[in-house]
Structure 1
Amino acid sequence: MKKMRKIFAVLLTLAMVLTMSMTAFATSNANAGNDNIFGTANDTATITVTGIDNETGIQVNAYKVVEAKYEGTGSTFSGYKSLYPTVITQDMVKANLTTLSPTQLNGLANAVIANTSKTAIALSNTEGTTWTANVSAGTYLVLVSNTEAHSYNPMVVSAYYINKDGKTDISEGKVTLTTNVANAKKSDKPSIDKKITGSNGNDYGNSVEVGDTVNYEVTVNPIPSYTGSHPKFYVEDTLSAGLDFAKDNNNNAINPIVKVGNNTLVKDTDYTVSFEGRKLTVNFVVGSAYKLNAYASQSLTITYAAKVNSDAVVFTSVNTNDAKLYYTNDSKVDGNDDSTEKKTYTYTFEIGGEASGTTGIITKTGKDKGEENPLPGALFGLYKSGDDVTADTVATAADNAAYKTAKSDADGQIKFSQLKEGTYYLKELNAPDGYSVNTHVYTVVIDTTYNDNGTLASWSVTIDNDKTSTFTSKNDGTWEAAINGTNIVNTTLSSLPSTGGIGTTIFTIAGCLIMVTAAGLFFASRKRTNK
């Protein structure tokens, strides 16, 4: 029995020793890392990018934008941290970050380019269009430069940890560093797009009046990379006669603003600007040096403004703005040039114009003895709708408050030109001699419909909630008009009572008769009294 007690005591002692050892081992691991997660700062993996042609002089570089975090002396992986939190916020960070939008990618590229302390990791061409590099854990932005044949969009590729089940949601246990593959998106030629910002139509078409400012934004994408001695890359914008470039207080044309992402480029350093009449040129070759290689594969924007002048034509013609991009397909040779362009369309409208085919929309007529004919010489005021301008306020508004005035011509037409879409109020201010003023205030609404490319598909005139006229563009460039005109009628004064009521003559005669009768009765009464 004593022997059994000794054996039991030995076993108990061994159990206690083993338990203490296990506790110490667990404590050691816990202090060394995070919940027993392995993975060290020395871990590396190979990132891969495909789809990039191996041109002479090409550079494919990776820049770390998300880094792995390690606890202690780098012995245990504990998570990820964004190195560019203004673009990749911490809540966006994940192990395999591949879901950045083109806008986010371009913003990230601009942030990396602007970072003077960044470190480039060069990828090597291993086979065909495949490029690789050995990197530590994290997410990398890959930029391709010094290419002539193609432009490549910025892309991201990650080296990230997974657990034994291949998942990135790691809580404990051993981890493995793995990578994904990025497929490059390339473009052979740059394109140009031009839009009207703040348009009352669509991106490419709008309507205006004289004095309006039209704001434009030109986008060029992608920016090419040129390494040869014959670079060519400039934008030329030409206005039609009805538009002038916006000017400052000294009557000088206002320079455009040029940006790549959020980076504002510097005039005379990154580009030059010249104005020649109604032509603007923005050139990205300064002297003989091309200035945009650092931004290759991204997009640039040029913003500027024009003002509508009195030469603006009405809808049967069009006020155009033509932006054209000139570039070379290969800067290593001279003359391999190309171009592409984009137009915007700006319209004004007219009522009562013979040349524009808008006669008959509104006709002034005079009515005399039941016969109605066109009436010349009636003066009308057109008022623009606004917060404090309604049909009711226009009824009592001063004549000089009118936006435009016009007299009816021999055919009774009231011509108003260079109008834009919107609501107006029409009021007769003065009538020709012998005619009364029509006091009704007419509500006139101009509506438009544009094609996707900005050209005008149709426009219409609605008067007092009745759509009376519609003009539709035909394939041959002419317009088909459907007009059910509105007549504004004046009546001759001779056919009216002198005050516009039922007349006073009859009341005057009746009053006189009553007074004479009263006087006669009064004197007759006095005569009887005297007797």
Structure 2
Amino acid sequence: MKKMKKIFAVILSLAMVLGMSMTAFATEVGTKADGTASLTVNGLVPGEETTVSIYKVVKWNAAGSTWELGDGVTADDVALANKPVTINWENFATKRASLQQVGTATVSDGTVTFNGLDIGAYYVYAQSDKTSYNPMGEAVYTYDENTGLMKPADKTIDAKGSTYTLTKAFAGTDGTTTYQVVNRGETVPFTITAVFPSYDKDATDREFQITDEPTGMKVTEVTVKVGGTALTPGTETYSLVSVNNDGSDGDPITLPAEKGQKVRVRFASNYIGENNTHAGQTVTVEVKAQITDAATFANKASSDKGNNTPEVNGKLGSITINKYDENYKADATDNKLLAGAEFSIAPKDGAKIQFVYVGEEGNTSIYKKATAEEIADNNIAKVTNIVAKNGTVVAKGLDDGEYEIVEEKAPAGYSVVEVPNVTIANGDNPVATANVADSKLHSLPHTGGMGTTLFTIAGCAIMVAAAGFFFASRKRVNK
């Protein structure tokens, strides 16, 4: 048994070594050979399946000691008469089908090497589902220091992404990124994912920013990670700035930001550097934002290196309460609304919710759930009883779930009744409605009314009449 354990340990060690050695080698296409060159493409996005193809666009005629145009290449693409030769790499992007392809590969580890190349110039095409790369190319030759003659030379290209796809997700408390209803005042997390761009060696626009644009909310916290490492904001990493109306950088921002204020992550030039140190690394911007609107919210991301603007939209729940008289019928269209009823709302088995009065929309009274800041602000009026001034009241800014409704005060002349619980569903229509029908109170005599007065008068009249008859009968007997 001990020998078996030793054998398994040796096998496991060999497997680990083999695995490590396998990951140490980049993808290679073709065979290395004397008298040929290699072209390595770096800076591709790791983890993305990227198709990389190379095309020979300039040939070397050793016998005639001259450069020649490759298949499908015209003088508009390559100016051989210029010294040095000029190549318009961007011209080849739309004519790849007519060029001479000498190698292709699909890689996901961020790099690929093409071997066995003759002296010449090669156009490199790279594309993934999420990232488009600028047209690029390289000539694989150099001059021998001793003989002064041309010879093959291995070269390396750093791929520069021209456009990157951003993704944005809203993760609820259960960890999912599916649609979820939230309540007003809740702080919700959003994640923006991008790829750190690469830059040409002669690039002058070494800038990179990601902007978060909230609607119906305010940004309270931002965390930036590059390659899985969290960065501390500063002059050597990144800064948070506002965004002017023309899209330019505004003033530095101290969080929490104002409601609806755009927040931009501006990477420092020192962090971007000149050696593409972070090129191809995954960038995540984790944004936390507090919901300030009572009905909807949206959060959009953009970048100066992005080719899309992903947006997450959501809604908040609401409860509509209609107060009717005792003749209410569910299928009727002429039900009579009663004015002045008051209701309280609470999550099932929870405390009554505090609301802020918004105003009247037509004949509907509107209230919104108070945020923690509003509850703490003594200058803002809060209520637990919401009033159906004209018979209908709407409570906005609620989370999904079951709610208890209590009729705290009935309209004049009507009795308080029990109201069934309602449920706000998690989905695209988070609305619940409670139709409440009241009963009239029993009629009572008015204070200071007739009461027993009539009966007293009648009784007295009968007594007087009886006394009259008594004395009249005595008088007749005496005669």
TM-score, normalised to structure 2, is 0.47
